[in-house]
Amino acid sequence: MKVIYQVGRLDNPAQATKEFYIKNFHGEKVDESGKAELSSIVLRDFLRKRNYEAKTVIVYPVSIVFNSKLPEYIQPEELKNELVEIFKDPSNYLKNPHEFIDRIELERNRDEKLIVHSLGEYLGISLDANYDDIVLEILFDMIERYLKGELEELYLDISSGHNIYISAILEAARHFAVFSHLVNWIDDTKSPKIYITFSDPIIGSSAKSFEIHIQQQRFTAFFSSPIKSKEAADYNFSFLREIYPDPNNNSKGSEAVKLKQQAREKRKKLKEKIEMFCLLFSAIKNNVPLYLYYQHYHSADEIKEEIFKLIDHAKARLCSDYQKSPNLNKRAYIDAVLSLGFYIGIVNVLEKYNVTMFCHDTGIDIETVKNSFSEIYLIFRLHTNIVMLGNEVSNTQEKLKQIGDISTWTGLYRIIDPDKSAGEIDPRNFFAHSGFERNATEVRTENDRVLVRYSLNVNFNDINCWLKRRLE
């Protein structure tokens, strides 16, 4: 589905309808024109004529109805009278603006709408919203559509609307682009292409028709964690309290206890997934592949469900009052959403290369680890890791060739230095040797294969702490 976002106008229909035309579509010369209140409607109809699935999402600032001229052309009379009452007392409208806007027969060719908060004073009505909340409202809409399979290509029509809403749409699209790239490391072509569209200037122009211009936007995502070491290691993901805060003191007694428990349970489930993302990311970044075979990570569907829950919770806070917005912590939400999207991308890669828990008694072929992660590192563009892992595996295989067959599990420290006894696992050596630290790793041979595993005394809590410290 090609989805087109544009800020709505609700202008006088006698003046709003314009003729728009398209001459160039992605380098192809075309000749298409149409009349509509908004250029996005003409673009949508053009796409549908070419057998594409397309829809418009018209973004309405909640202040859109606070226009003194709107009663002059709004129909029917009953709606005019209702609007006049809203001007006098907007409280009910601001609790649920959807119902009233749905009944306005302007821009009726839109497919769907998205109502967002507004800033400023209109007809003496003060609206106290936060710009960041408007960005999140649009971003959440894009992400939901994408994860539900309803958005395959994104068009941002910036021909209408005040700067604040255009800026919010563009910023939301930038975050969305990063999110979709982080989800699709295996096949980046699955990330929706994003286009900015705009018409020739209309205000002050004497032209009878206006060209729609389409320009592709390009975004890049890097293998870099949205969450850094200080937040993971020192603050224990405390930013999640901004997403699922403890309830206010309005509730008392058992109800207050229940609400607090619910908030804690939501934070706990979100933290489990955010923390696992951090551990997997750091293990890949810091080149400790064997560790990843020991992790019971979540499925992509479980992570998607967590994203939906997070968005639903945020939308409930946002939609509770359109007089003012809740002033959400945008950074916290974006860090969480990008991390969860990145988690999906990592899980898809690990599953493709069968990086799952294995039988500890049997072990895993070190050559399999090397081959799988050479390809995984290539996907994540971690070329140095390929060289380091290859050298480490080759050195281990060479040492074992010199010794001969080892039928029982033997600590790697005995292979490297038979005269030394087992010691403590050294974090520096752990990372310097691609996770195959001598005191942590056991080996055995089977035919021509070298099998590896971590010894039973390995404390994964310690390794988890080291990995969090090395987040970057």
Do 10 and 36 reside in the same domain of the chain?
Answer: yes
pLDDT-derived band at 149 (thresholds 50, 70, 90) equals very high
Do 171 and 267 reside in the same domain of the chain?
Answer: no
We report the CATH number of the domain holding residue 108 as: 3.40.50.10640
Do 453 and 376 reside in the same domain of the chain?
Answer: yes
pLDDT-derived band at 417 (thresholds 50, 70, 90) equals confident
Residue 298 lies in a domain: yes
Last residue of a domain, one of 187, 217, 247: 217
Closest C-alpha to 5, from 171, 144, 169, 200 = 169
Residue 472 lies in a domain: no
Q: b or e along 142-158 (b: 16 or more beta carbons within 10 Å of the residue's beta carbon)?
A: bbbbbbeeebbbbbbbb
> What pLDDT is recorded for position 161?
85
Closest C-alpha to 336, from 262, 278, 286, 264 = 278
- CB 39, CB 199: distance < 8 Å: yes
pLDDT-derived band at 203 (thresholds 50, 70, 90) equals confident
Residue 319 lies in a domain: yes
* Domains of the chain: total: 3
pLDDT-derived band at 47 (thresholds 50, 70, 90) equals very high
> Three-state SS string across 98-144, please?
HHHHHCCCCCCCCCEEEEECCEEEECCEEEECCHHHHHHHHHHHHHH
Do 156 and 21 reside in the same domain of the chain?
Answer: yes
Last residue of a domain, one of 297, 320, 352: 352
Residues ≥6 apart with Cβ < 8 Å to 428: none
Model confidence at 249: pLDDT above 70: no
- CB 22, CB 215: distance < 8 Å: no
> What pLDDT is recorded for position 181?
97
Do 188 and 259 reside in the same domain of the chain?
Answer: no
Residue 469 lies in a domain: no
Model confidence at 158: pLDDT above 70: yes
Residue 196 lies in a domain: yes
Residue carrying structure tokens 């309005």: 250
Do 369 and 241 reside in the same domain of the chain?
Answer: no
Distance of CA 217 to the CA centre of its chain: 18
Quick check: bond before 226 cis, omega within 30?
Answer: no
Q: How do residues 267-284 score in pLDDT, each as one tens digit?
A: 999 999 999 999 999 999
Mean pLDDT on 245-253: 74
Do 331 and 388 reside in the same domain of the chain?
Answer: no
Residue 358 lies in a domain: no
CA–CA dist 459, 445 (Å, integer): 25
Residue carrying structure tokens 């006894």: 421
> Three-state SS string across 269-289, please?
HHHHHHHHHHHHHHHHHCCCH
Do 212 and 89 reside in the same domain of the chain?
Answer: yes
Kindly give the pairing relationship between strand 209-217 and strand 18-25.
parallel
Q: How do residues 82-126 score in pLDDT, each as one tens digit?
A: 999 999 999 999 999 999 999 998 888 899 999 999 999 999 999
CA–CA dist 229, 465 (Å, integer): 10
Residue 440 lies in a domain: yes
Do 238 and 202 reside in the same domain of the chain?
Answer: no
Do 271 and 202 reside in the same domain of the chain?
Answer: no
pTM of the full structure: 0.95
Q: Residue 120 corresponds to which tokens in the numbers above?
A: 């400023």
- CA dihedral of residues 289, 290, 295, 298 (deg, nearest 10): 40
Residue 466 lies in a domain: no
Last residue of a domain, one of 165, 194, 217: 217
Q: Report CA torsion sign: 264, 269, 275, 281.
A: negative
Do 379 and 444 reside in the same domain of the chain?
Answer: yes
Q: Residue 384 corresponds to which tokens in the numbers above?
A: 């140095």
Residue range(s) defining the domain that contains residue 75: 2-217
Q: By 3-state DSSP, what share of the chain in percent is helix, strand and coil, each rounded to 5?
A: 50, 15, 35
CA–CA dist 55, 2 (Å, integer): 6
Do 178 and 248 reside in the same domain of the chain?
Answer: no
- CB 113, CB 101: distance < 8 Å: yes
CA–CA dist 361, 67 (Å, integer): 74
